[in-house]
Amino acid sequence: MTPRAAPAVSGRPGAIDVAGSGHCCGDLGAGVGHWPACIRALAVDRAVVCRRFGHSVSVSRWSRASRRDGGDPALWLLLAGFAVLVMAYRQVLLHLKTRAMARDADPVKPTRDRMGETELERYARHIVLRELGGPGQQRLRKARVLVVGAGGLGAPALQYLAAAGVGTIGVIDDDVVENANLQRQVIHRDADIGKPKVFSAEAAMLAQNPFVTVRPYHRRLEAGMAAELCVDYDLVLDGTDNFDTRYLVNRAAVAAGIPLISGALSQWEGQLSVFDPARGTPCYQCIFPEAPAPGLAPSCAEAGVLGPLPGVVGAMMAVEAIKVLADAGAPLRSEMLIYDALWSETRKIALKARDDCPVCGENKED
Do 47 and 126 have their domain in common?
Answer: no
> Quick one: the chain helix, strand, coil %, rounded to 5?
45, 15, 40
Do 33 and 140 have their domain in common?
Answer: no
The rounded distance, in Å, linking the Cα atoms of 134 and 116 is 12
The rounded distance, in Å, linking the Cα atoms of 248 and 301 is 22
What domain range includes position 46? 7-68
Do 37 and 169 have their domain in common?
Answer: no
The rounded distance, in Å, linking the Cα atoms of 123 and 133 is 10
Amino acid at 240: T
Does residue 67 have a pLDDT over 70? no
pLDDT of res. 165: 96
112 found inside a domain: no
365 found inside a domain: no
pLDDT of res. 179: 96
Cα–Cα separations (whole angstroms), residue 114 to 109, 142, 208, 324: 8, 11, 21, 21
Helix (H/G/I), strand (E/B), else coil: 44: strand
128 found inside a domain: yes
356 found inside a domain: no
pLDDT of res. 86: 87
pTM: 0.69
> Sheet containing 144-148: which strands, arranged edge to edge?
213-217, 168-172, 144-148, 235-238, 260-266, 269-275, 335-340, 345-350
Do 310 and 233 have their domain in common?
Answer: yes
Does residue 223 have a pLDDT over 80? yes
Domain boundary among 68, 91, 107: 68
82 found inside a domain: no
Cα–Cα separations (whole angstroms), residue 308 to 158, 327, 336: 16, 28, 20
Mean pLDDT of the chain: 82
Residues 6+ apart with CB under 8 A from 262: 237, 238, 246, 249, 250, 272, 273, 275, 284
- Which of 139-148, 176-185, 356-365 shows the lowest per-residue confidence on average (mean pLDDT)? 356-365
Q: From 360, 227, 348, select the one nearest 282 (Cα to Cα).
A: 360
The rounded distance, in Å, linking the Cα atoms of 201 and 175 is 12
CATH number for the domain that contains residue 264: 3.40.50.720
Residue range 77-121, pLDDT digits in tens: 888 888 888 888 888 888 887 776 666 544 455 566 688 899 999
Do 57 and 126 have their domain in common?
Answer: no
342 found inside a domain: yes
pLDDT of res. 362: 76
Residues 6+ apart with CB under 8 A from 133: 127
Q: What is the mean pLDDT of residues 26-30?
A: 42
Paired with 185 in beta bridges are none
Do 27 and 167 have their domain in common?
Answer: no
Burial of 25 (0-12, 13-18, 19+ CB in 10 A): buried
Residues 6+ apart with CB under 8 A from 341: 268, 269, 270, 306, 308, 309, 312
2 found inside a domain: no
Query: For 145, phi and psi rounded to 5 degrees?
Result: -125, 135
291: which DSSP letter? Answer: P
Cβ atoms 131, 221 nearer than 8 A: no
Beta strand spans in 160-268 (E): 168-172, 213-217, 235-238, 260-266
Do 335 and 200 have their domain in common?
Answer: yes
Does residue 126 have a pLDDT over 70? yes
- Which of 212-216, 221-225, 305-309, 360-364 shows the lowest per-residue confidence on average (mean pLDDT)? 360-364
pLDDT of res. 95: 83
Do 135 and 236 have their domain in common?
Answer: yes
Number of domains in the chain: 2
Domain boundary among 29, 46, 68: 68
Do 126 and 223 have their domain in common?
Answer: yes
- Dmax of the chain from CA atoms? 137
- Residue 80, sorted as left (phi over 0), alpha (psi -120 to 50) or beta, turns out to be alpha
Do 49 and 153 have their domain in common?
Answer: no
Residue range 227-281, pLDDT digits in tens: 999 999 999 999 998 899 999 999 999 999 999 999 999 999 999 999 999 999 9
15 found inside a domain: yes
- Burial string for 177-205 (b: 16+ CB within 10 Å, else e) reads beeebeebbbbbeeebeeebbbbbbbbbb
Burial of 150 (0-12, 13-18, 19+ CB in 10 A): buried
pLDDT of res. 49: 42
Ordered DSSP codes for 261-281: EEEEEEBTEEEEEEE-GGGT-
Helix and strand totals (H; E) in the chain? 14, 10
Cβ atoms 269, 310 nearer than 8 A: no
pLDDT of res. 215: 97
